[in-house]
Structure 1
Amino acid sequence: MCGFTGFIGQTENSKDVLKNMMDQIVHRGPDSYGSFIEGDVALGFRRLSIIDLEHGSQPLYNEDQSVVLVFNGEIYNFQELKGDLLKNGHIFQTNTDSEVLIHGYEEYGEAIVERLRGMFAFVIWDKNNQKLFAARDMFGIKPFYYSQMTETFLFGSEIKSFLPHPHFKKELNKRALKPYLTFQFPVLNETFFKGVYKLPAAHYLVFQDGKLDVKRYWTPEFNSTDESFEKIVQDVDHTIKESVNAHRISDVKVGSFLSSGVDSSYVASVLKPNKTFTVGFSDRHFSEIDNAKTLSDHLGIENINEVLDSDQCFDKLEDIQYIMDEPHSNPSIIPLYFLSELASRDVTVVLSGEGADELFGGYAEYETTPPLRKYKKLPKWFRQPLGKMAQKLPDMKGKNFLIRGGLPADEWFIGQAKIFSEDEATDLLNDDYQLAPTVKDIVSPYYKEAQHYDDLTKMQHLDLHLWLVNDILLKADKMSMAHSLELRVPFLDKQVMEVASKIKSEYRVNEKDTKYALRVASKKALPEESANRKKIGFPVPIRNWIKHEPYYEKIKSYFMDDYTKQFFNQKDLMKLLDEHYEGQKNNARKIWTIFMFLVWYKKYFKEPETYDEKYTTIKDKVPVN
């Protein structure tokens, strides 16, 4: 687990430029660093040592040093791949998982990505063909950004690593703000920095002769079978246990995040680490510590936990938004930041439960209540007109019932967050920020791919492509790596996906529960109470915080700052804030989404100090070489 950055293009003082770029991501790799510079090509690497601690520094090379690699992630089937490559005459210099990528590329070319089981983002420079080959894992667990500016191709694990390059032009992408207000996360492939793009999950790119080619190598598919429920449960349990065991491989200490939910509980119960880690809040109903401690005691594992306070959280908001690279308003980022810090004091690797909801059907939005199931039995000719009519109504009781019961998922479901409607975002924003892709523009391609699925599977397909990669996994990577902690997600595994894809819809979500097959399988390792517990999902008391005068005043200062008027109607912002503060409406998520954007913008555009001068959260902990 590491971080990399680099560029292709004529650059003066390229060695110093690359060093400055690497210093921006020192938190991703505090243990060592390395670089490759030849002509106009520069690759930089920061290492967090996990496997083969002595010999795993990068860049890595093949036998004649014609192929160069920088890599972030873990390849869990590297021993199997290595065995095949040794038989074919390849010579290995290390015991790392990284080296299979080099020899795998020599043997299989770009098709190597189809053979990998793991989480990864990597870059290979092929000297003989003057070609850069880069790829991102099938679920998008590890981030990868790229940009072409002034005849220079930039790439890296974090956008902030581009900032020191003299050819990088820092400019706000005005098209990104409006969709963000609806989705709460950066949903477009072009990031909030104009001209900087995310390499999508399950894609690879080739940059050669100044031309960029991006291709998809895998698409998630759900193909249910007629296997018995008992066989499915057996397969789920066996595969998850095998995946957890594959994900435990490490030469350093491994722990586990633990909430009160079935996902992390299942992982912890199989892994049985020496320690689990949990955080919560003192506010009532906003802590999972008690449940996590109870399960840890049952398993004979020490639970390390911490109660967070609001001042502590507000003090870190600027750092958190800086670390994220782009504005992100999921409140769960806050406890995840502190949870990662807590775990990093004792271990270098943690396992977590991300991905189970998307694969096995765990979200409340996937579930239909008994009244809704009854309503859906009425004729479509009766329900659909009511659903379309309800879409035009203001927020009121019964609106969502009529929409969900009357219309197919692709006409109302956009993922696990919907903060502002498009009309609300339009009213809030100034003219310069109105030109943006619509919500329909964003979700339609994924629904087109999923048109042959039922509604449940359509929703899972959409969440796998948008919510999982741009919200859940992005914040998991950035918050854990902020503290030089490797986070592994055994549910997001090629073999687990293969098993999950075979499960019938009625075994994923039914009148008994969400994630039904997974919950039944988990009972082979968990007490029934833990297996059946409803998802809470890192609850954060932002609605309470905003009603406290000090925090109200802090948010108000951002809403009324001079730079804010370029984006928003400030009178409308204050109406949202005052309504909430006075208890008239719960506008917490809307306020928070705007607030986080303004915090991010101020950090990157109004206070553009360098990493060394301003950002001290990680710098004081690790060496900058």
Structure 2
Amino acid sequence: MCGFIGELLKEKHDYLHENTWNQALEAIHHRGPDQTGVYKNNSVRLGFKRLSIIDIKNGIQPLSYENYRYQIVFNGEIYNYIELRENLLQQGYHFATQSDTEVLLALFVAEGPAMVEKLRGMFAFAIWDNESSQLFCARDRFGIKPFYYFEDQERFFFASEQKSIMPLLHHEITINHQSLQHYMTFQYVPEPSTLTNGIHKLLPGHTLTINKQHQHTIQSYSNRLFQPQAKIIGENKIKQTEECLRDSVQKHMRSDVPVGAFLSSGIDSTAIVALAREINPELLTFTVGFEVDGFSEINIAQESAQKLGVKHISKIITPEEFIQELPKIIWHMDEPVADPAAVPLYFVAKEASKHVKVVLSGEGADELFGGYNIYREPLDLAWFKRIPKPMQSAINRFATKLPSSVKGRNYLIRGTTPIEQRYVGNAFIFKEEEKADLLNAYNPAHPFTEVTESLYQQVPHYDDSTKMQYIDMHTWLASDILVKADRMTMAHSLELRVPFLDKEVFALARSLHTDDKLAHKTTKYILRMAMKEVIPASIVQRKKLGFPVPIRAWLKNELYLWARSLILESPTEDLFNKDFILAMLDAHKANQADYSRKLWTVLSYMMWHSIHLSENSQTFVEQKIQNKS
């Protein structure tokens, strides 16, 4: 796990000033504090920050191959690199190191861009070919590792984090209002856009090639389509699921440094821990919680760890620590993601980094195996589909005119609203009419559906539950779940690995029928059955909390004055109707409504704006770089 930056010059232009380059590179020091490397010629300059995990002694980057013809910077891990290496050796390729980086580069020499289809792992990388003057970049199929890029008249610049590009734009940064509008719906900016005009993300499962004439080609190499087969929940399919996960965990345990695991209350992390313990009985596990009833998984995690026979370390987060660390959290997040779960993830990563260099985690299980309770909603609403569409429309019009307090109103509305119009992903923060009141530059020409419409059009034949999974796979997973997972662990130079988001696991999960996932009034049914002999019975059917955060309670009490002060002092009057926000805050404090998620979405943006865009932002960034944290 590492970080990189790169600068590809256009003709008759000079490199960035050395101070600007160093600032961009040092901005991601936390991603790789073990070593710094730079490669430079007349066309390209590559910078690297290394976190040593595989071949600690020799895996230094940028790494070259074939007498310096090729240069690579690579962030991630290739879990099948041993098998790929053996195959390449048989073809006559030679290796000077034991690193997966050299295998990656040799595979590119052997097979060209098509090599990405053979990779089993998480990755973002850039390969420079001195002979053809061509740059080839790629990002893993799920978007576990980040890849940002920016281009102007002088250069093409790319980086592992957006903050490395900010020094290039400091006096010209402008907000993308369309992205801000979508952020207020989703609590994140859907990829490939960012909040900053000019900066983009390479989409998951895509490659980017720049030739000698600086012409760009972006191509998809991996579709993440579900291909459900006949519904047969038999012992064979259950056994296949167990064996597939066991193999993935085994591959993800490959490391030359200690590996630990996050452990919460649910089946996902418990399954990973149970399978990892088979490989390393001395596995360390970690969790955090809050001293608020219903917002701590520590006792459950400790009980699970005891039953699994693994060592466990936990920490309580206080409101004071929460506030104190927020500026660091927002800085490391790189762009606002208003998911409160990022905060405990930051703290559990901080604790884990004191003991290990790599952790396993359960991200991706819900999206692949149907784990969110909301995926069951179409099953509960299925009888509405038997009603003629004209009558459905009449019921919908009638229900929307009912007072919001009438019992059953929302049920009738949901049941008569097509899935394409009611489901935008796991988070649905502000509705369009609310954004019109919130945002001073609201544009009705850019509703949230412009993000999801094309995705729904790709899978018209799916049942509604699988459509919801597909939407989450392409939005929520890449732009929220994996962003906070990467940034909050990298903040502490900790590598996070996600065995559920594996090429082979997805190949199995994509074949599952909806009944395999949502049978017997539960979620992730086949995963629960596959793990019933592996993990304690008490956990198989347990509903997880998922590192919950008491934002709702704190915004009424401990965080109220802080939130009010931030709203009033934030230099964002041109963006927001602050009277509308303050009214929400006061109504929330008075228990008139629960506005906690809406407020946290706005507050997260305001903190990000102050840290990255305000007059004092440069001072804050320089302090972070100087402190290397």
Taking structure 1 as the reference length, the TM-score comes to 0.95
Residue 313 of structure 2: aligned partner = 304
Describe the shift of the 1:51–1:389 C-alpha distance in structure 2 as closer, same or farther (beyond 3 A). Answer: farther
Q: Which runs of 5+ in 2 are unaligned?
A: none
Query: Residue 584 of structure 1: CA displacement?
Result: 1.3
Structure 1 Cα separation of the partners of residues 333 and 608 of structure 2: 9
Residue 375 of structure 2: aligned partner = 366
Matches within 5 A, 1:7-26: 7-9=7-9, 10-12=13-15, 15-26=18-29
Specify which of 481, 486, 510 is matched with residue 472 of structure 1.
481
Instruction: Indicate whether 1:28 and 2:34 are aligned.
Output: no
Residue 556 of structure 1: aligned partner = 564
Specify which of 153, 159, 162 is matched with residue 159 of structure 1.
162
Moved more, 484-493 or 208-217: 208-217
Residue 405 of structure 1: aligned partner = 415
Instruction: Indicate whether 1:53 and 2:56 are aligned.
Output: yes
Instruction: Indicate whether 1:241 and 2:241 are aligned.
Output: no
Instruction: Indicate the SS of the match to 2:289.
Output: strand
Moved more, 498-507 or 251-260: 498-507
Residue 220 of structure 2: aligned partner = 216
Instruction: Give the conservation status (yes or no) of the 8 Å contact 1:350–1:486.
Output: yes
Q: Which runs of 5+ in 1 are unaligned?
A: none
Task: List per-residue Cα deviations over 1:239-290 (Å, max 9, x = no partner).
Answer: 0011000000000000000000110010001101521000011100001111
Specify which of 183, 186, 190 is matched with residue 183 of structure 1.
186
Residue 113 of structure 1: aligned partner = 116
Residue 259 of structure 2: aligned partner = 254
Residue 104 of structure 1: aligned partner = 107
Describe the shift of the 1:611–1:587 C-alpha distance in structure 2 as closer, same or farther (beyond 3 A). Answer: closer
Residue 610 of structure 2: aligned partner = 602
Instruction: Indicate the SS of the match to 1:598.
Output: helix
Structure 2 Cα separation of the partners of residues 553 and 436 of structure 1: 36
Query: Residue 228 of structure 1: CA displacement?
Result: 4.5
Instruction: Give the conservation status (yes or no) of the 8 Å contact 1:558–1:595.
Output: yes
Instruction: Indicate whether 1:430 and 2:433 are aligned.
Output: no
Task: List per-residue Cα deviations over 1:426-467 (Å, max 9, x = no partner).
Answer: 121113x53773211110111011111111111101100000
Letter paired with 1:569:
N
Describe the shift of the 1:415–1:612 C-alpha distance in structure 2 as closer, same or farther (beyond 3 A). Answer: closer
Instruction: Give the conservation status (yes or no) of the 8 Å contact 1:282–1:309.
Output: yes
Letter paired with 1:179:
H
Query: Residue 370 of structure 1: CA displacement?
Result: 8.1
Describe the shift of the 1:370–1:412 C-alpha distance in structure 2 as closer, same or farther (beyond 3 A). Answer: closer
Describe the shift of the 1:562–1:281 C-alpha distance in structure 2 as closer, same or farther (beyond 3 A). Answer: closer
Instruction: Indicate the SS of the match to 1:133.
Output: strand
Describe the shift of the 1:308–1:476 C-alpha distance in structure 2 as closer, same or farther (beyond 3 A). Answer: same
Query: Residue 91 of structure 1: CA displacement?
Result: 1.5
Residue 392 of structure 2: aligned partner = 383
Structure 1 Cα separation of the partners of residues 19 and 124 of structure 2: 24
Letter paired with 2:482:
L
Instruction: Indicate the SS of the match to 1:142.
Output: coil
Query: Residue 40 of structure 1: CA displacement?
Result: 3.3
Instruction: Give the conservation status (yes or no) of the 8 Å contact 1:383–1:402.
Output: no
Letter paired with 1:5:
I
Residue 511 of structure 2: aligned partner = 502
Letter paired with 2:220:
R
Task: List per-residue Cα deviations over 1:11-36 (Å, max 9, x = no partner).
Answer: 34655443322100000001001011
Instruction: Indicate the SS of the match to 1:368.
Output: helix
Structure 2 Cα separation of the partners of residues 507 and 531 of structure 1: 15
Moved more, 404-413 or 128-137: 404-413
Question: Number of residues paired by the alignment?
Answer: 618
Structure 2 Cα separation of the partners of residues 416 and 252 of structure 1: 35
Instruction: Give the conservation status (yes or no) of the 8 Å contact 1:579–1:585.
Output: yes
Structure 2 Cα separation of the partners of residues 258 and 74 of structure 1: 22
Structure 2 Cα separation of the partners of residues 370 and 190 of structure 1: 34
Letter paired with 2:343:
I
Letter paired with 2:303:
T
Task: List per-residue Cα deviations over 1:218-240 (Å, max 9, x = no partner).
Answer: 11122222344222111111100
Describe the shift of the 1:590–1:605 C-alpha distance in structure 2 as closer, same or farther (beyond 3 A). Answer: same
Instruction: Give the conservation status (yes or no) of the 8 Å contact 1:8–1:41.
Output: yes
Query: Residue 176 of structure 1: CA displacement?
Result: 1.4
Letter paired with 1:243:
S
Structure 2 Cα separation of the partners of residues 168 and 544 of structure 1: 39
Query: Residue 170 of structure 1: CA displacement?
Result: 2.4
Structure 2 Cα separation of the partners of residues 339 and 6 of structure 1: 31
Residue 88 of structure 1: aligned partner = 91
Describe the shift of the 1:168–1:522 C-alpha distance in structure 2 as closer, same or farther (beyond 3 A). Answer: farther
Structure 1 Cα separation of the partners of residues 103 and 36 of structure 2: 20
Letter paired with 1:220:
R
Query: Residue 391 of structure 1: CA displacement?
Result: 6.0
Instruction: Give the conservation status (yes or no) of the 8 Å contact 1:558–1:564.
Output: no
Matches within 5 A, 1:318-337: 318-337=327-346
Instruction: Give the conservation status (yes or no) of the 8 Å contact 2:5–2:164.
Output: yes
Instruction: Indicate whether 1:584 and 2:592 are aligned.
Output: yes
Structure 1 Cα separation of the partners of residues 468 and 403 of structure 2: 24
Residue 268 of structure 2: aligned partner = 263
Matches within 5 A, 1:116-135: 116-135=119-138
Instruction: Indicate whether 1:571 and 2:579 are aligned.
Output: yes
Instruction: Indicate the SS of the match to 1:170.
Output: coil
Residue 414 of structure 1: aligned partner = 424
Letter paired with 1:520:
M
Query: Residue 326 of structure 1: CA displacement?
Result: 1.0
Instruction: Indicate the SS of the match to 2:149.
Output: strand
Letter paired with 2:248:
S
Residue 207 of structure 1: aligned partner = 210
Query: Residue 190 of structure 1: CA displacement?
Result: 2.0
Instruction: Give % identity.
Output: 42
Letter paired with 1:414:
V
Instruction: Give the conservation status (yes or no) of the 8 Å contact 1:24–1:611.
Output: no
Instruction: Indicate the SS of the match to 2:288.
Output: strand
Instruction: Indicate the SS of the match to 2:425.
Output: coil
Query: Residue 411 of structure 1: CA displacement?
Result: 2.2
Query: Residue 583 of structure 1: CA displacement?
Result: 1.5
Instruction: Give the conservation status (yes or no) of the 8 Å contact 2:611–2:620.
Output: no
Query: Residue 163 of structure 1: CA displacement?
Result: 2.6
Instruction: Indicate whether 1:443 and 2:452 are aligned.
Output: yes
Structure 2 Cα separation of the partners of residues 531 and 145 of structure 1: 39
Describe the shift of the 1:418–1:86 C-alpha distance in structure 2 as closer, same or farther (beyond 3 A). Answer: same
Task: List per-residue Cα deviations over 1:354-378 (Å, max 9, x = no partner).
Answer: 0000000000110139864555555
Specify which of 235, 250, 269 is matched with residue 230 of structure 1.
235
Instruction: Give the conservation status (yes or no) of the 8 Å contact 2:264–2:544.
Output: no
Structure 1 Cα separation of the partners of residues 384 and 538 of structure 2: 31
Query: Residue 535 of structure 1: CA displacement?
Result: 2.7
Query: Residue 537 of structure 1: CA displacement?
Result: 2.0
